[in-house]
Amino acid sequence: MRWLVILLGGLALAQAVATPGWVRLVPPVVKDTTAYLTLENRGKTPLRLVGGETEVAERVSIHVDYRETRGGQVVLGMRPLAYLDIPPGGRVEFRPGKYHLMLEGLKRPLKAGEKVTLVLKFQDGGRLKVILPVEMR
């Protein structure tokens, strides 16, 4: 498996590794999309992911999908998270139906095959730059 990651400062520099992931291709009129990857903490202390940034969207936030029963009906949705902890030696999968990064307020339509650069931000000030392809899945 190839690892595509550029590390930028802070404790995350020595600890965080991201596996290649992808950004969901959405129709041009849709202003939000999702990004998926796996983050691994190779360090001995917890990492706290607190958000991110990208040039293609106004905001990058962490969300989790949920499924619950209300009044006998199954309700699906998603909730924003202020942060996400990655334990020492642990990993967190961002995948459909679980955690994902929301790219909110797209500044332009994305194209299949283009590369999107995300900079993930950690509480300790560390930053992790990842480059993800836009794909229709």
Total domains in the fold of the chain: 1
- Asked if residue 119 lies in contact with residue 80, where contact means CB atoms within 8 angstroms, the answer is no
Interatomic CA distance for residues 47 and 50, integer angstroms: 10
The range of the structural domain enclosing residue 121 comes to: 6-129
CATH number of residue 38's parent domain: 2.60.40.1890
Q: Does 43 map to a domain?
A: yes
Q: How confident is the model at residue 104 (pLDDT cuts 50, 70, 90)?
A: very high
The Cα 34–Cα 25 span in angstroms is 9
Do the domain assignments include residue 11? yes
The whole-model pTM stands at 0.86
Residue 25 is predicted with a pLDDT of 98
Is there a domain that residue 17 lies in?
yes
Structural domain contains residue 1: no
In a domain, residue 74? The reply is: yes
Residue 85 lies in a domain: yes
